[in-house]
Amino acid sequence: MSDQKKSISLPLANPEKSVEAQPRTRDEGGDVLSEIAREVAENPVLLYMKGLPQQPMCGFSARAAAILASYGKPFHAVDILVDPDKRQGIKEFSSWPTIPQVYIGGEFVGGSDILMQLHESGELGKLIASVSGE
Amino acid sequence: MIEASIIVERIEAALPGARVQVQDLTGTMDHYKAVVISEHFAGKSLVARHRAIYQALAEEMKGPIHALTLEVFTPEEWDAQG
């Protein structure tokens, strides 16, 4: 009987580990930085902004959202105004003191000035295409 | 609120020899644009260049400066702009 129990407990240990490997959201017991890491990993094109694309609450956020929208590909927007912890956390996560912030393919791309510059140079189109499976 | 001259000082201290031009965009001393030309930017990504400036203004970015638009060039890039 005791041998059988051991053989059952072993395979159970592994799935637990693989769950640990994924950054947890706050709902799952993680902290805000871990939740951001999860969002960055799960969303190929991700924008942290003030307000939402339909109703931006800051000119820089509006500009970043409009640039991303111009490519006609879906992107995920997170409104940090409704989440003070995330508003602070995103600045720590990227060592970047301003919002908006754009992440593509899991990498920090920059704020609205850099986004505009990459948009004008054509590099942003290439980046977005590279994560859209084109 | 912060004087434009302080922003220039901080950036020049962090990037010796840089040419720095700061413009108050709104007349309210909290929305600025900075054009920074420095040889320290050579071979650095845009993110790295902006980070260098943000680091120089770390305290100011936490309050007095509400928005800072950045344009960053090496001297060669600046000359190529014409």
Of the candidates B50, B62, B68, the beta carbon closest to that of A110 is on B50
* Domain A32-130: assigned CATH number: 3.40.30.10
Spell out the alpha helix ranges (H) of chain A: 2-21, 32-42, 59-69, 84-94, 112-121, 123-131
Tell which residue, A57, A37, A59, has the closest CA to residue A107.
Answer: A37
Which of A94, A113, A120 to mutate to test binding with chain B, by most B CBs within 10 Å of its CB? Answer: A113
A6: pLDDT confidence band, cut at 50, 70 and 90?
very low
- Over residues B43-77, the pLDDT tens digits come to 999 999 999 999 999 999 999 999 999 999 999 99
User: Which range, of A15-19, A40-44, A104-108, averages the lowest pLDDT?
Assistant: A15-19
- Whether pLDDT at A77 is above 60: yes
Measured distance CA(B73)–CA(B42) in Å, rounded: 8
Of the candidates B47, B58, B62, the beta carbon closest to that of A114 is on B47
- Over residues B4-41, the pLDDT tens digits come to 999 999 999 999 999 999 999 999 999 999 999 999 99
Of the options 3.40.30.10, 1.10.3210.10, 3.30.300.90, 3.30.70.2740, the CATH number for the domain spanning B4-74:
3.30.300.90
**A102 touches B: beta carbon within 8 Å:** no
**A69 touches B: beta carbon within 8 Å:** no
Q: What does the domain layout of chain B look like in residue ranges?
A: 4-74
Q: How far is A94 from chain B (nearest CA, A)?
A: 10
pTM attached to this predicted model: 0.86
pLDDT value at residue A20: 52
